[in-house]
Structure 1
Amino acid sequence: MISNKKAIVGALVIALVSSLLTLNVGALFGKIAIVPMNEYKQYKEFEKMYSLKSSIEQEYYKNPSESALVEGAIKGMFEGLNDPYSTYMTKKEFDALLEYTKGSFGGIGVYVSAEDDGFITIVSPIEDTPGARAGLKAGDKILKVDGENVSSKDIDKAVSKMKGEPGSKVTITIAREGQQEPFDVHITREEIRIQTVKSEVKEDGIGYIRITTFDEKTAADFKTNLNALKSKGIKALVIDLRDNPGGLLDQCQEISDELLGKGTIVYTRDRSGSEEYLKSDEERKLGLPIAVLVNGGSASASEILSGAIKDNKAGILVGTKTYGKGLVQQVFPLEDGSGYKLTVSQYFTPSGAYINKKGIQPDIEEKDETKQLDRALEYLKSKIK
């Protein structure tokens, strides 16, 4: 049995511990509210930012825009991640991203990526666009847009500056491997309408489908083109993913459904180690020999489709090593029309390969781009029954 004296002492100890855990200053002075310790620590972490904001507003020689300060602080948080794929976007930048996924926009027609070296790099120019006709190449580094320096940390701003009204002009300053000095490329913007899927029948009844990116219409267009080829009695299929920078994962999944039958397309792993498997849930399978053309411009969703075909033994890869992007981003809209992209997980091919910064090696390596299709056709001819 506990005595009353011990009970009182115990109650005081419990009260003291409770006040320490919750910073119960208010109980002592009656002026400060009870604040949980974790919230207090969080407040202290942001106290410097609030103090600096106040100093800028009071001491800066011009009257600063509060909204600009807040936007800058938000962008700074994302820069602190040191992840070029995680970015905050203003309303204008976010609208441009949504416009891009719909497959039509005014611009020069290049796919770009934020690289660890701090530069914005052209992954690939889009076929038959101003950028492609101006001679921009995969691997080119974009140093300036209309004379303004740009870097990987503000890639969305750079993309926004390259877009614009059809007929308007923009100057891109490029650094290219093998050339000592940067040079300017003057380009007139056009309405970029991306036809992401094209097809034809090659020699010996081999079908050919070219996919340039994965936007909202790609899977439907792929099915239409594949059905047209099947109606012509094709005996094998080439899928060309060269210089395809990726896009929407759900479109990649729908295309995989047409090719793999039942099987794993890809699986992801988040920060807690939790894994989620994306499977091809259709029972149909193409049932024809497949060769996929890839190169260093084949990234993201292109690598997911390539890895799924390779690891499920549905076909082979021909060309050169792929880009190597093994991270998954999720897009989040905000109430004011702005939004952000955040890397939420890593992805792995069905065999468990983690390809980030490594890429996928082709089954048949061919560095000469002019010979890659011929090598694929040669392989498929040997497999036609």
Structure 2
Amino acid sequence: MHFPKNCLKNILPLLFFFTLAACEEPYTPEVLEQDNNYLVVSGFINSNGPTTIKLSHTQNLTDASGPTLETRASVTVEEESGAKYNLQETEPGTYTHRLLPITLSKKYRLVIRTGGKDYASDYVEPRITPAIDKLNWTAENDGLQLYVNTHDNENDTRYYRWEFEETWEYAAFYFSVLEYVNGQIRDREPGNDIFLCWRHNTSSAIQVGNTVKLSQDVVSNFPIVKVPANSEKLKRKYSLLVKQYAQTKESYEYWEALKKNTESIGSLFDPLPTQLTGNIQCLTSPTEPVIGFVTISSVEEKRIFVTRQELPASYRPPSQFCPFDTVKVGEEAAYFSSGGAIPIDMIISETRELIGYAGASKSCVDCRVFGTKVRPAYWQ
């Protein structure tokens, strides 16, 4: 088939489009169909606080269930040519020690014995984490951007990792002065209100940074998290706790590869997943992969609070849809006994006679549906 030359510039883009369209076929890697049951070791050895190590197993992407936890394992921190310290299983698959006697001049490794197999990490040196200088924030048009700042006068850290915990105060849509107990409506006891609560969230994204290209080991305004302007977290008061860890070059590269593998595989131009190379080996079966990288460091923490009054008026979360109902006296049992609705207040006639009650769904009246009434000890 031949085309006039002046038509080629119009036809070629179409041919390119149809070629791309014809190549869009589902691709299922063979690895998804293979047995996938390798040990995953999460956590680190804390030199200035509690050490927590979590053991689980890998799973295929098509597996809808949660990861299998490795229980009843023997988990030990061993000093090179020295003492051994056992971790206790405090929850299924979670092994802890309150405070390990780590000496900065010595090396340590993690040893795991489970399922008839022995696993061990390389011996690693403890790292001292510099203090967090400050946390600060800017109110941008689309949300609250929070930053972390730190430095090392010795220019020795260079590689950093961060985690964070969020806490925010919120209130129910209605304030209830009544409660339904044992078939009766009564005044709510002082201190038993269900209006004000707190919620918590921990970071899931991997946050790493380095200063290797800088003359000074200074981290300035590293963006740690951004809270959308319409988030309920900013409705009353918001708090962020940042945890900082010093990393070795090898552990930094591990976390960076893990970040790319888990957070950057969604588009045509994202980097291809890479093989994770940790520092834990299966001594019983040396060819068996083990997922994880053991480090030893101290932990530095810092907390910041942001109140609603400090933020722009345009920061407004969507309002909850909370219609209320009215219930006649004598019909309250049919409405409130199931627990799905909660009385709010009495309805009094013009002659000061009790004629009914106002009530609404539990999610609109009881803040505990979404959080806890236990006020955090650190809350300002």
Shorter-chain TM-score bucket reads under 0.3
TM-score, structure 1 as length reference:
0.25
Q: Which is bigger in relative contact order (C-alpha 8 A, separation at least 6)?
A: 2
Structure of greater Rg: 2
Question: Between Structure 1 and Structure 2, which shows a larger proportion of helix residues?
Answer: 1
Using structure 2 for the length normalisation, give the TM-score.
0.25
